[in-house]
Amino acid sequence: KSTVSREVRRNGTDGSYSAAEAQQLSRARRQAAAKRFIGPDTVFYVEVGLGWKWSPEQISAVCRRIGSPVSHEWIYQYVQTDKANGGELYRHLRQGKRRYRKGYGTKRSPIPGAVSIEQRPTVVDERGRLGDWEADLVLGKQGTGAIVTLAERRSRIYLTKKVFSKDAGEVSSAIISMLSGYKDVCHTITFDNGGEFSEHQAIAEALEAEMYFAHPYAPHERGLNENTNGLLRQFIPKGTDLRTVSEEDLERYQGALNSRPRKCLGFRQPSVV
């Protein structure tokens, strides 16, 4: 009964009810909502967010928080309209590309002293504390170096540092340098099975932390780092000559990622968690 009453109140014109008129009124309301005016300030916020390579969902959440609500559907439509008119806002959106599984030509040698992720404390899986990190390398064009990346599992803070090569000694020195200011919040680091992490014992000693290794060919076990490396690729595409990426560039990209609102954090930013 209550449902029928609401329908009559919404779509009745003179106290009577007509299904045809109701359908027409309902359609008119939908069209009006679709054409709801989005002010220039909100459009500006949307374009700034796109320039920062935020997703439409992230932009929508922040706009709602600052009192300029706009749906992520509207943002997608705005980007598509801009593209149809020759604009390039669409280039700021993360492109859906095939993800390639890492492959290696030869079987990897076991890393001496490696401790399996199976022995990692459950508090790490639960993200129950700050200080549990995932590590990886982002490679540039062959022979132009690499970027060591670290992601903290709870806050999603992301750290980066350029290295000249995948040499294990250089990589371990970089990790120690990157986390030297986080020793109080460095309990564990989880690596993949790359030989570049074979100096893990030196890292463990310097940082007084525990080191663990994921199973071979199981990037999902370091999913946060893998995903954030994908976001970094928005700024540094595959095949980039890393010699053309300055430390200032990398610091700016890192700052942009740490300022990006994350859905898993209630659209807060890692930098303020």
pLDDT in tens, 157-177: 999 999 999 999 999 999 999
Q: Under CATH, domain 117-272 is a member of which superfamily? A: Ribonuclease H-like superfamily/Ribonuclease H (3.30.420.10)
Domain range annotation of the chain:
2-34, 40-92, 117-272
Range ranked top by mean pLDDT from 105-109, 175-179, 181-185, 262-266: 175-179
pLDDT for 42 beyond 70: yes
Q: What are all long-range contacts of 105-113, with beta carbons under 8 Å and residues at least 24 apart?
A: 108/193, 108/194, 108/195, 108/216, 109/195, 111/193, 111/195, 111/197, 111/198, 111/200, 111/213, 112/198, 113/200, 113/201
Higher pLDDT, 88 or 187: 187
pLDDT tens, position by position, 47-80: 989 988 888 998 998 888 888 899 999 999 999 9
CA 5 to chain centre: 47
Q: What are all long-range contacts of 174-177, with beta carbons under 8 Å and residues at least 24 apart?
A: 174/148, 175/135, 175/148, 175/150, 175/203, 176/202, 176/203, 176/206, 176/207
pLDDT for 94 beyond 80: no
Share of the chain above pLDDT 90, in %: 57
Share of the chain above pLDDT 70, in %: 82
CA 221 to chain centre: 16
**pLDDT band at residue 107 under the 50/70/90 scheme:** low
pLDDT for 208 beyond 60: yes
Q: In whole angstroms, what is the distance from residue 28 CA to residue 10 CA?
A: 12
